[in-house]
């Protein structure tokens, strides 16, 4: 099901290519050219679909491919081109002789992502700390909360775990295995310094806010294979303050450890998952939300989040618009790679 049309007609092998298969493909293409890819497997004596042959040739067997890691110059070029072209990997790869779109994509999704997280959070945190005269640790907590999207409601419902994410202040996370910090220091910090209607713009329109939905948090930077569910938690006081309507119900009430036992919380999570999809479609486009998780998706989300954080910073009373530009920060960061 779902296979390309050329793959439906014959039995096809999948998975990694053997050296023998590679040899057959190379021999065929160097002798006859690839011609119509859908006929290549038959002519070359391979039990693969044409698409698979094409991919193998383009991404691995082509004689003009470069091997080995990308050079610093190539990495810099990818970053520059990505800032112009976005995720158009094929377009980017055209400017890198011997490199494939797949290679560029893999590079971006692994290497750059790491740099993004390790550089951007401290940079933003120091900015927030200075502008708001708060301790660096508190600023780091705040920035980590927004920038580092480790709060997740995953759609992998077959395995259910509640787990805190180390980068997220514990007061924002309910976990069946640990006691949240009752002081809610970070909530208070953020609440004090930033109007939460700015942080979560969808709350500003209470009429369109369905309290039965969970708070929208974003993807899992540590990859889907963790299979953990990070459940956002806000106190009733904070939620009511956000929406300005005491009739509204805390959307995270069912997972609030002060309101139910861990078993109840566990049962609540699948319901939250059921509600996440419609939530996504109703949120303002400026706020990134994902019900799933993947590296590439999260790079995109993280980029949106950085823009969002920039908006927050520039809207703060003490901010200076000229010095708080995220693009300036990003430029400084990336130029060092």
Partner DNA sequence: AAAGTACGCAACCGCCGCGTC
Partner DNA sequence: AGACGCGGCGGTTGCGTACTT
| Angle between helix 113-132 and helix 136-147 axes, rounded to 10 deg | 130
- Name the residue with tokens 């009373």: 317
Minimum CB–partner distance for residue 200 and DNA (Å): 24
| DSSP state letters, 73-113 | HHHHHHHHHHHHH-S-HHHHHHTSTT--HHHHHHHIIIIIH
Q: Closer CB to DNA, residue 111 or residue 240?
A: 111
CA atoms within 13 A on the CB side of 337: 25
Q: Closer CB to DNA, residue 116 or residue 295?
A: 295
Q: Closer CB to DNA, residue 52 or residue 170?
A: 52
What's the CA gap between 69 and 112, in Å, rounded?
14
| Long-range contacts, stretch 48-55, CB < 8 angstroms, 24+ apart | 48/12, 48/13, 48/21, 49/3, 49/4, 49/6, 49/7, 49/10, 49/12, 50/4, 50/6, 51/4, 51/6, 51/7, 52/7, 52/12, 52/14, 53/25
Q: Closer CB to DNA, residue 127 or residue 162?
A: 162
Q: Closer CB to DNA, residue 122 or residue 292?
A: 292
Minimum CB–partner distance for residue 11 and DNA (Å): 13
Dihedral of the alpha carbons of 280, 285, 288, 290, in degrees to the nearest 10? 30
Q: Closer CB to DNA, residue 43 or residue 123?
A: 43
Minimum CB–partner distance for residue 112 and DNA (Å): 10
Minimum CB–partner distance for residue 139 and DNA (Å): 24
Q: Closer CB to DNA, residue 86 or residue 135?
A: 86
Nearest to 167 by CA among 190, 154, 152, 150: 150
Minimum CB–partner distance for residue 75 and DNA (Å): 11
Minimum CB–partner distance for residue 21 and DNA (Å): 8
Minimum CB–partner distance for residue 203 and DNA (Å): 27
- CB neighbours of 172 closer than 8 A, spacing ≥ 6? 145, 151, 186, 187, 232, 233, 234
Residues that bind DNA in the complex, under the rule CB under 7 A: 1-7, 13-17, 36-39, 48, 50-52, 54-56, 59-60, 69, 87-91, 101-103, 105-107, 109-111, 114, 222-226, 292, 294-297, 300
């Amino acid at each position: 099901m779902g296979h390309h049309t050329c793959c439906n007609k014959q039995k096809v092998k999948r998975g990694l290519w053997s050296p023998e298969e590679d040899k057959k493909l190379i021999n065929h293409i160097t002798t006859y050219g690839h011609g119509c890819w859908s006929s290549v497997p038959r002519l070359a004596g391979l039990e693969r679909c044409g698409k698979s042959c094409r991919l193998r040739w383009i991404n691995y067997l082509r004689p003009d491919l470069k091997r080995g890691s990308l050079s610093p110059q190539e990495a810099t070029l990818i970053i520059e081109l990505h800032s112009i072209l976005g995720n158009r990997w094929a377009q980017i790869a055209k400017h890198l002789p011997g490199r494939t779109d797949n290679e560029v994509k893999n590079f971006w999704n692994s290497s750059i992502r790491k740099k993004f997280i390790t550089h951007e959070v401290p940079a933003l945190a120091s900015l927030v700390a200075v502008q708001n005269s708060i301790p660096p640790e508190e600023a780091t907590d705040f920035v980590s909360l927004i920038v580092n999207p480790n709060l997740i409601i995953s759609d992998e419902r077959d395995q259910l775990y509640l787990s805190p994410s180390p980068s997220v202040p514990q007061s924002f996370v309910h976990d069946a295995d640990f006691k949240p910090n009752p002081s809610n220091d970070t909530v208070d910090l953020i609440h004090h310094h930033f109007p939460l209607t700015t942080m979560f713009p969808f709350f500003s329109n209470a009429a369109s806010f369905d309290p039965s939905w969970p708070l929208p948090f974003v993807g899992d930077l540590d990859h889907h294979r963790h299979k953990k569910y990070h459940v956002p938690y806000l106190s009733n006081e904070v939620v009511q303050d956000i929406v300005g309507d005491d009739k509204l119900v805390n959307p995270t009430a069912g997972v609030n450890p002060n309101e139910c036992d861990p078993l109840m919380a566990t049962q609540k999570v699948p319901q939250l998952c059921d509600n996440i999809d419609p939530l996504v479609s109703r949120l303002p486009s400026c706020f990134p939300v994902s019900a799933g998780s993947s590296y590439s998706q999260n790079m995109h989300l993280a980029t949106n989040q950085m823009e969002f954080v920039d908006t927050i910073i520039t809207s703060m009373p003490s901010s200076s618009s000229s010095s708080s530009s995220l693009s300036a920060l990003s430029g400084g960061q990336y130029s060092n790679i």
